[in-house]
Amino acid sequence: MIHAIEARGLVKIFDGFRAVDGIDLNIPEGSIFGILGPNGAGKTTMLRTLLGIIDPDEGTRSLLGSQKPISQSRNVGYLPEERGLYQSMRAVDTIAFMGALRGMPLKAARDKGRMMLDEAGLGYAADRQIKQLSKGMAQTVQLIGTIVHDPKLIVLDEPFSGLDALNQAKLERMIRAQAEKGVTVIFSTHVIAHAERLCERIAIIAKGKISFDGLVSTARDRLRPQVHLETESRDGPWRGALPDDCRVEGNWWHFTLPESGVEPLLTALVEGKAGVKSLSIERPGLHDAFVAIAGEAVAAEMDEEMAEALL
């Protein structure tokens, strides 16, 4: 598999603080890759290091096959977390300017910018100054400026924040369309639903370390399904078949699906005449997996710190 990005043992230290703390990462070319993690986890620092905006203190990274990521800047579109545009520049000129910075002839970038604004439903605002646009509109202009030069790799830091539901859906469509062309798209987000809908693979970062890297389905499989059962009877020998973590609410029983699966339990319920009224098995979503994985990593680190303090 060809990788758009490869990182080995990446470390970035700010004033003794390890914001990125030994990251290994492979991002397959042509994939949509989500980077999830709580505030301060190191997502932005990692992206900036991968792109060559800042240099790592330790480790190596390669971007589109190059050890000098900045040399690939014409092939990369980067939407930084802090949005910033010249307030008195017109929308279409902003896009042309951003395209020119990445090697496009100004006129071609302006024509394409106008076309892309039209496609985004913002054609009417092409000649307005940035300060005359709403925040979400300005963000769309910046996003178009990020991809106007047809990059091979698009890196979006929190691209969904500040967009309304309609524009979020448009952005999702744009990301999918780019991936269909073979472009690699990497984005960071707090909104797990976007990653769940868009990505095949994700990395979860907590405290500068990768606590999970792999398929979304694998992240989900880390958590066992939840069973919700309603019975007519409230007591009987079948209760011995319910797992230890069972929570009772009236005639409802909630518990984690045991390793042995649902069948032995069903047999016990039927033989014990529990009177099954309803039974559902709920697969956990990525959100629950995220909380469990990021939480586990933070908890493990706290245990280490406490152990050190006790020594």
Ligand X SMILES: Nc1ncnc2c1ncn2[C@@H]1O[C@H](COP(=O)(O)OP(=O)(O)OP(=O)(O)O)[C@@H](O)[C@H]1O
In terms of CB distance, is 75 or 142 closer to ligand X? 142
Q: Output the smallest distance, CB 64 to ligand X, in A.
A: 22
Least Cβ distance, residue 19 to ligand X (angstroms): 3
Residue 207 binds ligand X (CB under 6 A): no
Query: Which residue's CB is nearer to ligand X, number 14 or number 86?
Result: 14
Print the binding letters for residues 13-52 with ligand X: x by CB under 6 A, - otherwise: -x----x-----------------x-xxxxxxx-------
| CB-nearer residue toward Mg ion: 38 or 272 | 38
For the bound state, the minimum distance from the C-beta of residue 81 to Mg ion, rounded and expressed in Å, comes to 5
Cα separation values, 168 from 74, 76, 85, 246, 302, Å: 26, 22, 20, 39, 36
Closest distance of CB 89 from ligand X, Å: 26
Q: Sign of dihedral through CA atoms 84, 86, 92, 95?
A: negative
Name the phi and psi angles at 228, rounded to 5: -120, 120
Of 19 and 229, CB closest to ligand X: 19
Q: Are strands 76-79 and 184-189 parallel, antiparallel or unpaired?
A: unpaired
Binding to ligand X, residues 50-89 (CB under 6 A) = 81
**Alpha carbon distance 251, 233 (integer Å):** 7
Longest dimension (CA), the chain: 80
Label residue 46 left, alpha or beta by phi (over 0 means left) and psi (-120 to 50 means alpha). alpha
Q: Are 213 and 304 in contact (CB under 8 A)?
A: no
Q: Could you please report the per-residue DSSP string of 180-228? A: HTT-EEEEEES-HHHHHHH-SEEEEEETTEEEEEEEHHHHHHTSPPEEE
211 binds, among ligand X, Mg ion, none (CB under 5 to 8 A by kind): none
Smaller CB separation from Mg ion, 139 or 231: 139
| Minimum distance from residue 4 beta carbon to Mg ion (Å) | 20
Residues found near Mg ion in the complex (CB under 5 A): 43-44, 81
Q: Which residues bind ligand X (CB under 6 A)?
A: 14, 19, 37, 39-45, 81
